[in-house]
Structure 1
Amino acid sequence: MKIVFLDRDTLSTETRLRPLTFAHEWVEYPCTRVDDVAARIKDADIVIVNKVKLSAQSLAGAPGLKLVAVAATGTDNIDLEACQQQGITVSNVQNYAVHTVPEHTFALIFALRRSICAYRDAVKAGRWQEAAQFCFFDHPIRDLAGSTLGIIGDGLLGQSVAAMGRALGMRVLFSAHKGRVGQGRLYTPFEELLQLSDILTLHCPLNASTRHMIGAAEFAYMRRKPLLINTGRGGLVDEAAVGPALQAGQISGAAFDVVSAEPPPVDHPFMALLNRPDFILTPHVAWASAEAVQALADQLIDNIEAFVSGQPVHQVMFKI
C-alpha cells in the first residue's frame, strides 16, 4: 500500500508521526505545487494532505486512491464531490484544537482591547522617557468584564471561546451565519449580533453560504465599534473592506490569523494595514501549539490505521 504525504512541512519538524503497523510504502514531500499533484498521487492508495488542493482532475488520475487523510479539520481544499463519485473515503482530524485556537483568539482580543502592541511600540520609540512620568495614555485600554462577546459558530471551538468569555465576566451571544433563521431562542439573529457585540469572533467553516458573510454592509451595522477577530477561515470576511472599516471607525480593531490567500501577496489589502496599532495579522498559527499539533498527528495516524483495518473513523460526510 502506497501512502503519499503531499505537504509534510505544514507540520512542525518536532511533530512525531508514529510508524504505521501495516506494510506500506511511505513517500512524503515538504510541499507540493498544484501542477505536481496529479503526478505524485497517480499510483497512491492513501494521500495525506493539509492545504494542497485536490481537484477533480487530479483525483481522476489516481484510480487506485482509496483514502484522503486530511491533516486538518477543514476540507475546502478538496473536491468532495469528485471523491464521492470515485468512492474515495475522506477523513479529517477533529477536536484537536479545543485549547490552542480559543487561547490564540483571546490573545488577539487582549492585545487589541488593551493596546498591547501599540504600547510596546511606543516604549520602543522612547515615548515613556518623553512622557517624563510613571505612565502615559496614548492608546485606549478597555476591560473585557461586562462587555459583549458575539460568536458566529457554535461548534466545539466556539463553545470553548464562550466558556473563556464567561469566565472573564463577559456576556456571550451566539449567532449562526448570515441568512440562517429559526435557530431558536438561544441564538441572536445575525444582524442583531452585529449591533450588540463589543467583540465579534468567527468560528464557522468556509462554504458558499459563509464566504464574505462580513463585508461593507455588515460593518455599517456595527454600532458598538467592535473588535473583529477571525481565527476561523480566510474568506469569511471581505478582506478589502477591513481597512475602510478601520479608517471609518466602524470597528475599533481587527485581528486575523487566516487570509483567503496564504501567504498573502504583497499587494493584499492586509499588507497595507500592518503598521496600524489597531490591526494584527498572525500567520495561521492559532492551531499550532506543540500539544495541538502532536494531537493532530496522532489522530491522523489513528484515522489511517482505522481505515486500513476496515473500521474507518472521522469520515467527512458527503452532501447527497
Structure 2
Amino acid sequence: MSEHIVFLDHDTLGPEVSMRRPGFPHTWEVHGRTAPDEVAERAVKATILIVNKVPLREAVLDRLPNLRFVAVAATGTDNVDVAACRRRGIPVSNVRAYAVHTVPEHTFALILALRRSLMAYRDAVAAGAWQRAAQFTLLDHPIRDLNGATLGIVGEGAIGQAVAQIGRAFGMRVLFSAHKGRSDMGPLYTPFEEVIERSDVLTLHCPLTPETRGLIGEAEFARMRRRPILVNTARGGLIDEQALVSALERGSIAGAGIDAVSAEPPPPDHPFMRLVNRPDFILTPHVGWASREARQQVADQVTACIEAFVAGQPRNVVT
C-alpha cells in the first residue's frame, strides 16, 4: 500500500534543513504551520503523521480513521496524547540524542555571558561608558571565572552528562543532583537541597513530569546561599516563573539564563518580559536545541523512524 504522510509543522525545522523522503511508495503533504483547529482537516487522510509541537489530542485522533503511526520531530512528546494513541494501537516515535552538543553549548553560552557580565559590558560600551572612563578598561560589573566554581546539574541524562564534561574542562566542581525528595540514589548523587545550597551555577536538564513541575520555587530560591546563576534550557514548567522574577529582583540569584518558558511564545504580560532589559537576565526563544546540525539530525531521524515502522521494525517508540 502507498502511505500518505503529512507533516503539520515543517517550519519548526527551518528552511535550510533538507528532509529526505522515505524510500517506499508514498504521497507527501507538508504544511509550514498548523493551528490546533486545522489539525483534523489536514490530517484526515494521513496514514503517517509528523508533528513537532502541534497538539494531537484524543478528540482529533477520533477524526483520523486512517492514522497508523505518529512521528514526533522532537524528544518531548507532551503535545501528543500518547495514552490515546496506545488505546488505538497507533505507535508514537520520537527523536533522541540529537541535542547532546547543541544544548550543552547553548547552556555554556548563557553561563559565560552571565558569569562575565557580557550583556552589561556590551550595553556600557554602546552607551559610551568606555570613552567616558578615559582608561583602558571598565570594571563596573562583576566578572567571575568558572574555574573553581561549583556547577550543580539537575538531570543526569546524555545532555546533563555533556554539560558536566564541559564544566570539568573549565575546572568546575560538578555536582549531580539526586531527584528531589530521594536519598537512596547512591554516592554519585548529591542531595537536591545540598546542590541548591552549594552551587555557583545551577542548570536544569531534566524532563517535565508531574514530579518535576515547579521543581525550583520560592523555597529553593531561599536556600540559594551562594547567589548562583540559574540556567534552564529544558522545560519552562520546571521553574516557578514568578518566583524567579522575585528572586532576581531581590538579589537571591546573580543572574538567570532561560531558553524555555511555560508559554511559548510568552505573552506580553508574562513576568519574564519585565526582565528582558536587565543585563543579568537572558531570555532566548527556545533555540538551545536548534543548531543547524541538530535540526538536520532531527529530520534524518524522523525519516529513519518512518522507514523502520513501515518495515515492521519500529524504533524510538514511546507508546
TM norm. shorter chain > 0.5: yes
In the alignment, is residue 27 of structure 1 matched against residue 29 of structure 2?
A: yes
- Give 1:253's aligned residue: 255
**More divergent stretch after superposition (124-133 vs 41-50):** 41-50
**Quick check: 1:3–1:48 contact (8 Å CA) kept in 2?**
yes
- Give 1:244's aligned residue: 246
- Give 1:274's aligned residue: 276
Tell me how far 1:186 sits from its aligned partner: 0.7
- Give 1:301's aligned residue: 303
Taking the aligned partners of 1:150 and 1:42, their CA distance within structure 2 comes to 47
1:31 alignment partner AA? R
2:216 alignment partner AA? I
**Aligned pair partner of 1:166 in 155, 165, 168:** 168
Taking the aligned partners of 2:253 and 2:62, their CA distance within structure 1 comes to 46
The secondary structure found in structure 2 opposite 1:112 is helix
- Give 1:48's aligned residue: 50
TM-score scaled to structure 2, two decimals? 0.97
**Quick check: 1:177–1:213 contact (8 Å CA) kept in 2?**
no
Taking the aligned partners of 1:33 and 1:176, their CA distance within structure 2 comes to 39
**More divergent stretch after superposition (155-164 vs 286-295):** 286-295
- Give 1:58's aligned residue: 60
Identity rate, percent? 64
- For residues 182-221 of structure 1, what are the structure 2 equivalents within 5 Å? 182-221=184-223
Query: How big is each residue's C-alpha offset from its partner over 1:174-228, in whole Å with a ceiling of 9 and x where there is no partner?
Result: 1144233411111111111100110000001111111111111110011111000
**More divergent stretch after superposition (37-46 vs 243-252):** 37-46
Query: How big is each residue's C-alpha offset from its partner over 1:63-113, in whole Å with a ceiling of 9 and x where there is no partner?
Result: 221111010111111111111111110111100111111000000000000
- Give 1:131's aligned residue: 133
The secondary structure found in structure 1 opposite 2:104 is helix
Taking the aligned partners of 1:157 and 1:309, their CA distance within structure 2 comes to 31
1:76 alignment partner AA? D
Taking the aligned partners of 1:39 and 1:178, their CA distance within structure 2 comes to 43
**Quick check: 1:115–1:278 contact (8 Å CA) kept in 2?**
yes
- For residues 40-189 of structure 1, what are the structure 2 equivalents within 5 Å? 40-189=42-191
**Aligned pair partner of 1:39 in 33, 38, 41:** 41
1:277 alignment partner AA? P
**More divergent stretch after superposition (278-287 vs 179-188):** 179-188
What is the number of residues matched between the two proteins? 317
Tell me how far 1:42 sits from its aligned partner: 2.3
Any unmatched runs of 5+ in structure 2?
none
TM-score scaled to structure 1, two decimals? 0.97
Taking the aligned partners of 1:265 and 1:176, their CA distance within structure 2 comes to 34
Taking the aligned partners of 2:66 and 2:209, their CA distance within structure 1 comes to 29
The secondary structure found in structure 1 opposite 2:245 is helix
Taking the aligned partners of 2:153 and 2:257, their CA distance within structure 1 comes to 15
- Give 1:310's aligned residue: 312
- Give 2:267's aligned residue: 265
**Quick check: 1:83–1:90 contact (8 Å CA) kept in 2?**
yes
Q: 1:28 to 1:181 in 2, by over 3 A?
A: farther
Tell me how far 1:43 sits from its aligned partner: 2.4
